[in-house]
Amino acid sequence: MRFRVKLALGSVIALVLGLIVSLPLLFPNLQLTTRIEIDVDVVYAYFDVPDFGSNITGLWKNFSEPQDYYSISYFIVLNITNPSDSIASVSEFEAAVAPEILVQNGTELLGSKKLALQSSKSNSEFAVSMQNPIIHDVRITTWLPGWSQYWSPHESRLIGLTGMVDIWNIAYQETLANGTMYLYGEAEGRPVGGGAQTRGFSLNHVQLQKMGRESLYNAILAENQIFRIDGLDVHIDTRP
Amino acid sequence: MPEDEELEGTTLKVYLYMVKEGKPVGPRDVMRGAFLSSPSVAYRHLQKLETLGFVLRNAHGDYVLKEKVNIGGHLWIGRNLVPRLIFYSFFFIGILSAETVIIAVRLLVHEPLQTDFVFLCIITIIATVLFFSEGVVSFLKLKRQTNSGTESRQGS
């Protein structure tokens, strides 16, 4: 009996030694159980169809088949909040605009009923599908001069994504000409010091305000306010 | 503990018997206990052990164990010899346990498993199985050697 006890003890010591050796691998993975939450909302979307034939602006673009393409400049603002009690590192931002967007979040289907009917249920935990997207802007950035990727606990910040794209006429007709569209915003981050990657997203079906060649969705600015753009960060100032 | 380089075969069997008995033994005891053909064979192996310096002869002419020697690839646990491979396998079981926890955590939080980590797990599984199976085979072989002596003694 004493032999068996000693044998068991020796085996346990060897096993514990094995565990100790794997600690450098185990510890960062155990930290993955730490999670933060990220809330995202698309609060502002501006679209403009620049006049590339204008003599005033001097812009000119040669489309071989002009009726098939539109150039669109856009500015989309995401309101990103860290509702957690720990500091979050958020460095991946995404915005998409399309006439039909469907988000599959586990078993839940959000957004376009048309795409929901077409979709075959997959096993994926999270998937975004869209039809004729006019904008799909993804930014992965950990370092920009003067910009911080860290969100303090319960901090909200506005992130602006801007650019210019050429889109097909059919996508233009279905969204900007029509004035209704889906706005999708997403941000990903993790707790500072290690932890699981977390995704926050929002999907809104919105009606745009049309002002000539410009279109606008605004859920944040009051009449006396304007945006001040500072790299990726966007601040709200009072109009001078 | 002195190192053994020549302790093998029947001499090892005689030595293991003496360790197990833990008291002075004569050639006849060894013949019966280690299942040898004659007292002279037992005597020859006892003399070899004496020459190697592992046993001493007392005043009554019986042989006494001097001290336990290191048997290559084995560890003494009390009066029993256990293959080191068994402990190596438990060391790898420890690593495998940590890797299993890592896989469980990553699946739980929906983090992807990296290919190099999966390869590491496969290597650990292979090492564990190899060390454990070789260790058990070696342990059973030793046990058979020592038990053959006990069985013959019980039979007589």
pLDDT tens digits, B22-31: 888 888 888 8
B93 and B58 part of one domain? no
Higher-confidence residue: A191 or B33?
Answer: A191
Comparing A12-16, A29-33, A96-100, the range with the smallest average pLDDT is A29-33
Q: What is the pLDDT at residue B151?
A: 47
User: Averaged over A84-102, what is the pLDDT?
Assistant: 93
From CA B29, how far away is CA B39, in angstroms rounded?
8
User: Averaged over A162-176, what is the pLDDT?
Assistant: 83
B84 and B150 part of one domain? yes
Best of A2, A25, A36 to disrupt the B interface (most B CBs within 10 Å) is: A25
Q: What is the pLDDT at residue A234?
A: 95
Q: Tell me if B85 is assigned to some domain.
A: yes
Query: Which residue is associated with the tokens 């003496």?
Result: B18
A7 and A99 part of one domain? no
Q: What is the pLDDT at residue A63?
A: 63
Q: Which of A22, A29, A125 sits opposite B95 (nearest CB)?
A: A22
Please state the domain count of chain B: 2
Give per-residue pLDDT as tens, A50-74. 777 666 666 666 666 656 778 889 9
Q: Are B105 and B117 in contact (CB under 8 A)?
A: no
Instruction: Sort strands B55-57 and A126-131 into parallel, antiparallel or unpaired.
Output: unpaired
A12 and A84 part of one domain? no
B61 and B82 part of one domain? no
Q: What is the pLDDT at residue A46?
A: 95
B54 and B97 part of one domain? no
A186 and A226 part of one domain? yes
A25 and A50 part of one domain? no
- The string of DSSP letters for B75-103 reads EEETTEEEEHHHHHHHHHHHHHHHHHHHH
A99 and A151 part of one domain? yes
B119 and B140 part of one domain? yes
- In this prediction the ipTM stands at 0.75
Q: Which residues on chain A are in Cβ contact (under 8 Å) with B82?
A: 7, 10
Subunit contact A14:B87, Cβ cutoff 8 A: yes
Q: Tell me if B23 is assigned to some domain.
A: yes
Full residue range of the structural domain in which residue B59 is found:
9-65
**What's the gap in Å between the CA of A131 and the closest CA on chain B?**
27
B58 and B86 part of one domain? no
CA dihedral A156, A157, A158, A163 (to 10 degrees): -130
From CA A216, how far away is CA A75, in angstroms rounded?
10
Around Cβ A181, how many Cβ atoms within 10 Å?
28
Please state the domain count of chain A: 2
B27 and B52 part of one domain? yes
A111 and A144 part of one domain? yes
Question: Among A184, A98, A187, A103, which residue's Cα sits nearest to residue A140?
Answer: A187
Comparing A54-58, B19-23, B66-70, B146-150, the range with the smallest average pLDDT is B146-150
Q: Tell me if B4 is assigned to some domain.
A: no
**What's the gap in Å between the CA of A199 and the closest CA on chain B?**
11
Q: Tell me if B34 is assigned to some domain.
A: yes
Q: Where are the beta strands (DSSP E) in chain A?
A: 39-48, 69-81, 88-98, 100-105, 108-111, 126-131, 135-140, 150-151, 156-168, 180-191, 198-207, 209-211, 214-218, 225-230, 233-238
**CATH code at B55?**
1.10.10.10
B59 and B106 part of one domain? no
A65 and A104 part of one domain? yes
Q: Which two tokens stand for residue A137?
A: 């802007």
Q: What is the pLDDT at residue B68?
A: 80
B107 and B140 part of one domain? yes
B90 and B59 part of one domain? no
- Is B155's pLDDT higher than 50? no
Query: Which residue is associated with the tokens 């390869």?
Result: B119
Q: What is the pLDDT at residue B153?
A: 46
Q: Which residues on chain A are in Cβ contact (under 8 Å) with B93?
A: 14-15, 18
Q: Which residues on chain B are in Cβ contact (under 8 Å) with A19?
A: 94-95, 97-98
Q: Which two tokens stand for residue A28?
A: 């960062």
A16 and A87 part of one domain? no
Q: Tell me if B71 is assigned to some domain.
A: no
Query: Which residue is associated with the tokens 């606008």?
Result: A216
Mean pLDDT of chain A: 87
Strand, helix or coil for residue B11: helix
B56 and B18 part of one domain? yes
Q: What is the pLDDT at residue A181?
A: 92
Number of A–B residue contacts, CB under 8 Å: 81
The percent of residues in chain A predicted with pLDDT above 90, rounded, is 50
Q: Which residues on chain A are in Cβ contact (under 8 Å) with B75?
A: 10
What 3 state SS string does B16-73 have?
Answer: HHHHHHCCCECHHHHHHHCCCCCHHHHHHHHHHHHHHCCEEECCCCCEEECCCCECCC
Q: What is the pLDDT at residue B154?
A: 45
Q: Which of A6, A15, A29 sits opposite B78 (nearest CB)?
A: A6
A17 and A80 part of one domain? no
Q: What is the pLDDT at residue A209?
A: 92
**What's the gap in Å between the CA of B100 and the closest CA on chain A?**
10
A114 and A223 part of one domain? yes
Q: Which residues on chain B are in Cβ contact (under 8 Å) with A18?
A: 90-98
Q: What is the pLDDT at residue B3?
A: 57
Q: Tell me if B70 is assigned to some domain.
A: no
User: Averaged over B52-75, what is the pLDDT?
Assistant: 84
Full residue range of the structural domain in which residue A28 is found:
1-33
Q: What is the pLDDT at residue B152?
A: 47
B51 and B87 part of one domain? no
Strand, helix or coil for residue B145: helix
Comparing A118-127, A159-168, B62-71, the range with the smallest average pLDDT is A118-127
- Is A18's pLDDT higher than 90? yes
A114 and A177 part of one domain? yes
A68 and A24 part of one domain? no
User: Averaged over B5-9, what is the pLDDT?
Assistant: 70
- Is A131's pLDDT higher than 70? yes
Q: What is the pLDDT at residue A44?
A: 96
Higher-confidence residue: B32 or B97?
Answer: B97
